Amino acid sequence: MADSMRLDRFLWFARLTKTRGWAQDLAHGGHLRIDGRRIEKAAAAVRPGNVLAFLTHDHKIRVVRIEALPTRRGPPAEARACYVELTLDERAGAAAQRSAKR
């Protein structure tokens, strides 16, 4: 198994974007970061342990850490096993802010 994968391919295989073209547009538009570095190439290599931050189609920031590289675009449950969501859920964030004020 390879130790790295193209960024656009990973986003599509992991079902973080609906199409590979959409993943390429994210990269080329400069709306994506790998470990804090701005990425403008869809061919950028990603590896397990990398943290991806990107702007979703509904203009929200999403942050994920890559856990494994997928071998195919499989079912959603298989795709979710390839990354860990680091984005703070808005409801959880609001609850944490309320409890911090107490």
Q: What CATH number does residue 76 fall under?
A: 3.10.290.10
Residue 81, classed as helix, strand or coil, is coil
- 28-87 pLDDT per residue, tens: 998 899 999 999 999 999 999 999 999 887 888 999 999 999 999 999 999 999 999 998
Q: Evaluate if pTM is beyond 0.85.
A: no
Q: Report which residue type is found at 63.
A: V
User: 75 is in which domain, residue-wise?
Assistant: 5-101
Structural domain total, the chain: 1
**Which DSSP string do the residues of 31-65 spell out, in sequence order?**
-EEETTEEE--TT-EE-TT-EEEEE-TTS-EEEEE
